[in-house]
Structure 1
């Protein structure tokens, strides 16, 4: 549906209330005349059937019943709008829908991803609007053009023919919750003068050479307008009618501030307005940036370049704000996106197995400086690209998506979908079979016309000897993860860009489990059903986590589960944080091939040990804190370079020069400094530098215990990056003998202080404490599951939870792995 604006005194009303929902057997009613809406349930719009049933106590998201075998009717009256011409707008109907006004069908929709605008005439009497969502199961079971391959991850092959979400259809990945209903807004527009409606409105912001911003506007309007101007950032220009009848303007902003991802600068936005005959019409916020993909001299690379600077992209794959509601309002998105930003993420990917999000999602990403990799909703299947009707639906859905976010600076990559190429290639099919016209011709054509400023990628993954080869183009990297490769595989694989990676069954904090999954961990069926797995695989992602628990902590997971379940859970929480921090350190170091990697996934769909780094309640998991440390724009990284020794790498991704000090110390028994060194340095904006540990020490020292001349002299090495005032900006740790050799039963000195930022904990230790965890009643620690080295005081802010009395003294406890002590405050 082309973007449009009313330039007259029209009224636009959301039809969000007053709906009655009636669930019937499939085919029970040919039309709405025989549907008794008085017996229906109240239903929110936008919303889903599962949502309305859940509100009525008739649906359990933990044990969902099938809904695709039923018809569902939404009915309401329109008497409050009077009579006359109007336009009904449907932003998204899931999925096969018929729409009636006064028992006359005026619209049929067969795609969840298409919007519709239909002109109608209201009588002013008892106008009755009805939407029927026909049972989807017969459409999913229908035969179509023969597929050349059949993905195993989907529970129905009919998804290749029906334009609906794969959410709910992937056993082991997500709960089987069927998406049905008016999941996007329904509204009514009444206008006094239909000629004063603009259509096909186009708004594009770009950063020109030399740093000036250019705002291009174009729209069609049948009326003869006068005194039309475009304004942005204090500059304005006339909007004139071209020879083809379209109204056009190109506004140059010589002093514009560029939009940056928040890790590399400020995400500057500007309000744009259209003035027509003295009337102000908001066009929304725009940002000015340039963006391209650098493939390198050999064509094998893949780096996102923003405003001329290569940006290391880090973040996660987005699932949904709520698997039942599939919501799209700002208040639904904001908590999740804030958590992503606060973790230091600068990119989110909306995968092809999910669903399109609304413009509100992109508006918040624009504001927060989060780039968005947008897969189009195609995944794994052999789609019928020769079917003209199918292709017409595809073109409309992509055109409408891009119309709604046409000036959004956060949109960074458009991709033809997820794992289509990989699926065909892994089944042994030749490239000519799995590389087809849909992703190579049709989708890039639509994307190029709708957002010429955004790079297009044919599929994720693609490039290399095989489309999933990590050393070229875009990959989905699970060498460390599902394939149980050692941590150093992250270097050997020469990953260029991982659009998804590092999937584990991340254990939530204890408070989430106590409140939402109060069952014996690991052995109870409810626990195991929340653990993700690949369909038909003999293992799940808890097995993967256990593999790395044994590798990292030299512990037997099976014995711990049996004999010390609490210790097992704490080590499970700590291990994935340790793994992601180590791998991102490898990928971000100078000399790495990697230009970005996104974890799988941002959030869980139900509380439990799922893929999400944030649990389904919105609580960050321990791994989130590991990512937060790994993603710091100002960063220090330690890497073991074998017989070359230990190296410290310092990164400054900010736009300012940074001056400070790098400190390095090796500790015996977690407390005695056996060797140390420091170096003053100045890093320019986007600068990075590497130092051999021996250069800081001034003499040879076997920091990594590579030469093994005699017994080891230390168990942990600590690197600190300090600013001019001596404040610790970043820390890194190396364990030459393994993390289990650095477990100490340590006392922690705790002071509770009230600062201008609220309650804080000051922590000190005389001996190294590993994976320290803070549990504070009514609060969440700003930093958690971190290592605490001796020397110096560390201040941790306590973030109040909703409804807590911040005037009261907080209380809680502190623990760390390797010790049975509980320190209370």
Structure 2
């Protein structure tokens, strides 16, 4: 009699121990030394911490006390029972082994795995099984194996010294484990994803609901299904389409005719709703349930699988632009979803922890909700981490977040010997097949950039920049293997892009007129002022950023009471800032823009304002270049990075504990459906002045400045509005106001005004006006409701020259919200909390205030014994403003 397919996760009875490498055979050391596994799936670092053999590597200098773990070998074992008359087929499913692992069942080798990213299935020989079986896993040192392979195949270039040992390119393991410029060196090992036992007579081995939408937005559904086992037992395959509430919409019954695979297209579909990304509609989802039925056994269900998916059409649009911009003409690079051009505003994602097994589903959901709540519509999964677990992509589906997925290659000259290419092909096939049903997917990308401390460039560019490299072997992977896999397994449903960045003639990946670019010439490279972001863009900017220190509570976490290290350039602060040459690079940007301070808390705040001002200027300037059909000069901006893998000073806009930095809120405002922007260009006083001045940089004798004011509208409808302008002099009582009727064109930016900045009349004994002391405030107001739809304030820069006025506050707190009002303009108002307790959520932060305007900021999670603090430009050290929640 046939039996129903069953899958049992092997999560109990596990033990671990360190391998004694002086013992020749692992079977000679099985009797003693085992420790119960506390968490399964498991990472050996977590187990070692649980029993006190290593300290928390995220605190103090403890990372160094854990480096030895990567040099050792480790063993895991468990026992499980089998009812030998239950089924004809048994399989062990290894979802993920990290990384070099040999598996034994009852002391017989059943598997050798050397790829962390490839799930493995082992068909068990029923005749050799016992009622109780022992599974033993032997993990060898990926660090040592990498060095052995390097000896065999040769040392290559792989990033800079702070991107880990270059031998990493030879091992298919998460590359950031070797250390990165934002993360520690923690060479993990263990069964990092579930291990299961499957029993069946016949089962579904793969189910793919291929949902497509044609150019007329007509949906189609084709079922692709594979089976294995006793195929003759299956008399009917029932496929049911279910809506988001689980109600059956339509079903078909198919006769398999003893075939192991089939493709069946639904001849007609009822009306279905399309899946839309954030800001453009609802992310409507459906499910396909496939059931194998044995009619000869009274309709017995033999196996059943369900996949959730959505109907959507996604395309990467590269076509000649109708007109040239500041960089020339070139090609567009933007995404269309359901025939609608989408301006991308998003973030790069790195693994949310160096110890991956500690990330629970709820943590993934919180990160992605944070991204969506910040008005972002795409997350790019960077190529030095992992293919994330199913819950990550399911959450993107549910929230309407598009996914740009890198294959796992980052910053190196990767090999292409036959064994490596074969491993990569299996890895790609497994992951594309496993993820292809998700409607969130917008792009599969071949690899991430290569990098040295001074020049940013793609793997292709390494051949030209590093020199001494006559060929890039991995071109076979990026240009042949990966695109073939994507095309074959998705039927062209998701675009493929060779690498990021990529484009330009002769692999010139810095060409701003073609493809995507990574803009690192502010923080690194040429180290330009961040005020130059508006002239340093491209058709699509998939990486850029400025780092900042995290929340003071996060710093306190790694300080762990070590107050003697509590200053900005201490050893312990450097331990938790992996960025190359960060001392010099921070010094340049900080000294250009802010007054020097020896107060630690003020310095932390100013690094956050630096990041906030810089990245928001980039989003604002590049989104301006989304100018309508034929003039899509910039199709998207993706900041490096959303998150951290441990407590650290980095480019993240929210730190390891999901605490948003000021930059997070500034980006959220720049990605509102409607925004207003101002660009101030200081006019030359003299012929020999710099042709493009850094605002009032170097001189406060500027006679005038030109203002360019524009709006953006991501909705698909025009909108009339009132543009309100207010000009406030910081050195006098002079003010000026203007109002203009404007129309925001749909799904693009609209230029409003180009004007000379108004300023007060010169004093009787001077010959110049002072636009350098004028704050310009812009608001877009609904003409009917008087609602403020968008606002932005442009202040004279650099801020180190500005004498910030006393705000003359009125601040009220009712337990749920802060109501803030100021008589004078305020720059960079940041609310915070201190000490341990619930995470306090602010609905907005890092505010610029216009005189007389009342702003309301929601406050959630504040306990009665906690206090709210504030910092702002001119008063950077946080001070308490509310004694307790009401």
Q: Do the two structures share a fold, i.e. TM-score over 0.5?
A: yes
In the alignment, does 2:478 pair up with 1:455?
no
- From 425, 430, 451, the equivalent of 2:464 is 425
**Aligned-partner Cα distance in 1 for 2:429–2:767:** 66
**Aligned-partner Cα distance in 2 for 1:212–1:819:** 58
Q: Is the 8 A contact 1:424 1:434 kept in 2?
A: no
Structure 1 gaps, min length 5: 1-6, 695-699
Pairing 1:354-369 to 2, within 5 Å after superposition: 354-369=385-400
Q: Is the 8 A contact 1:745 1:819 kept in 2?
A: no
- Once structures 1 and 2 are overlaid, which stretch shifts more, 595-604 or 225-234? 225-234
Deviation per CA, 1:203-251: give whole Å up to 9, x if none. Answer: 2222223222222211133243326233144542425357876333223
Corresponding residue of 1:262:
278
In the alignment, does 2:658 pair up with 1:600?
no
Q: Is the 8 A contact 2:623 2:749 kept in 1?
A: no
Corresponding residue of 1:395:
425
Corresponding residue of 1:4:
none
Corresponding residue of 1:240:
254
Q: Is the 8 A contact 1:275 1:281 kept in 2?
A: yes
Alpha-carbon deviation of 1:83? Answer: 6.2
Alpha-carbon deviation of 1:78? Answer: 0.3
Against the structure 1 CA distance between its residues 658 and 823, is the aligned structure 2 distance closer, same or farther, given a 3 Å change threshold? farther
Against the structure 1 CA distance between its residues 26 and 799, is the aligned structure 2 distance closer, same or farther, given a 3 Å change threshold? farther
In the alignment, does 2:405 pair up with 1:374?
yes
Q: Is the 8 A contact 2:648 2:655 kept in 1?
A: yes
Corresponding residue of 1:551:
592
Alpha-carbon deviation of 1:721? Answer: 2.4
Corresponding residue of 1:135:
141
**Aligned-partner Cα distance in 1 for 2:154–2:5:** 49
**Aligned-partner Cα distance in 2 for 1:239–1:327:** 43
Q: Is the 8 A contact 2:116 2:172 kept in 1?
A: yes
Corresponding residue of 2:324:
none
In the alignment, does 2:482 pair up with 1:443?
yes
- From 170, 177, 188, the equivalent of 2:186 is 177
In the alignment, does 2:484 pair up with 1:475?
no
Corresponding residue of 1:697:
none
**Aligned-partner Cα distance in 2 for 1:685–1:265:** 16
Give the match's secondary structure for 1:336.
helix
Give the match's secondary structure for 1:392.
helix
Deviation per CA, 1:41-67: give whole Å up to 9, x if none. Answer: 424222211111122222231322322
Q: Is the 8 A contact 1:768 1:787 kept in 2?
A: yes
**Aligned-partner Cα distance in 2 for 1:315–1:31:** 49
Alpha-carbon deviation of 1:814? Answer: 2.7
In the alignment, does 2:108 pair up with 1:88?
no
**Aligned-partner Cα distance in 1 for 2:503–2:759:** 39
Against the structure 1 CA distance between its residues 82 and 703, is the aligned structure 2 distance closer, same or farther, given a 3 Å change threshold? farther
Alpha-carbon deviation of 1:671? Answer: 9.0
Q: Is the 8 A contact 1:470 1:494 kept in 2?
A: no
- Once structures 1 and 2 are overlaid, which stretch shifts more, 572-581 or 493-502? 493-502
**Aligned-partner Cα distance in 2 for 1:794–1:665:** 17
Q: Is the 8 A contact 1:48 1:179 kept in 2?
A: yes
- Once structures 1 and 2 are overlaid, which stretch shifts more, 277-286 or 355-364? 277-286
Give the match's secondary structure for 1:645.
strand
Q: Is the 8 A contact 1:715 1:737 kept in 2?
A: no
Against the structure 1 CA distance between its residues 685 and 82, is the aligned structure 2 distance closer, same or farther, given a 3 Å change threshold? farther
In the alignment, does 2:269 pair up with 1:229?
no
Corresponding residue of 1:527:
573
Q: Is the 8 A contact 1:23 1:72 kept in 2?
A: yes
Pairing 1:50-129 to 2, within 5 Å after superposition: 50-60=45-55, 61=57, 62-63=62-63, 64-79=66-81, 85-120=89-124, 121=126, 123=129, 125-129=131-135
Corresponding residue of 1:25:
20
Corresponding residue of 2:843:
782
Against the structure 1 CA distance between its residues 8 and 337, is the aligned structure 2 distance closer, same or farther, given a 3 Å change threshold? farther
Structure 2 gaps, min length 5: 294-298, 322-329, 450-458, 684-704
**Aligned-partner Cα distance in 1 for 2:518–2:474:** 17
- From 715, 724, 730, the equivalent of 1:669 is 730
Q: Is the 8 A contact 1:139 1:158 kept in 2?
A: no
Corresponding residue of 2:701:
none
Against the structure 1 CA distance between its residues 253 and 709, is the aligned structure 2 distance closer, same or farther, given a 3 Å change threshold? farther
Q: Is the 8 A contact 1:23 1:71 kept in 2?
A: yes
**Aligned-partner Cα distance in 2 for 1:544–1:95:** 36
Against the structure 1 CA distance between its residues 275 and 150, is the aligned structure 2 distance closer, same or farther, given a 3 Å change threshold? closer
Alpha-carbon deviation of 1:137? Answer: 3.6
**Aligned-partner Cα distance in 2 for 1:218–1:328:** 32
Alpha-carbon deviation of 1:365? Answer: 1.0
**Aligned-partner Cα distance in 2 for 1:156–1:811:** 45
Give the match's secondary structure for 2:153.
coil
Q: Is the 8 A contact 1:227 1:275 kept in 2?
A: yes
TM-score, normalised with respect to structure 1: 0.89
Q: Is the 8 A contact 1:51 1:324 kept in 2?
A: yes
- Once structures 1 and 2 are overlaid, which stretch shifts more, 489-498 or 665-674? 665-674
TM-score, normalised with respect to structure 2: 0.83
- Once structures 1 and 2 are overlaid, which stretch shifts more, 91-100 or 459-468? 459-468
Q: CA RMSD in A?
A: 3.0
Against the structure 1 CA distance between its residues 572 and 384, is the aligned structure 2 distance closer, same or farther, given a 3 Å change threshold? closer
Alpha-carbon deviation of 1:527? Answer: 0.6
Deviation per CA, 1:401-440: give whole Å up to 9, x if none. Answer: 1111111111111111112223323213678547722211
Give the match's secondary structure for 2:443.
strand
**Aligned-partner Cα distance in 2 for 1:666–1:208:** 51
In the alignment, does 2:869 pair up with 1:813?
yes
Q: Is the 8 A contact 1:350 1:373 kept in 2?
A: yes
Deviation per CA, 1:519-539: give whole Å up to 9, x if none. Answer: 4132321111111223xxxx2
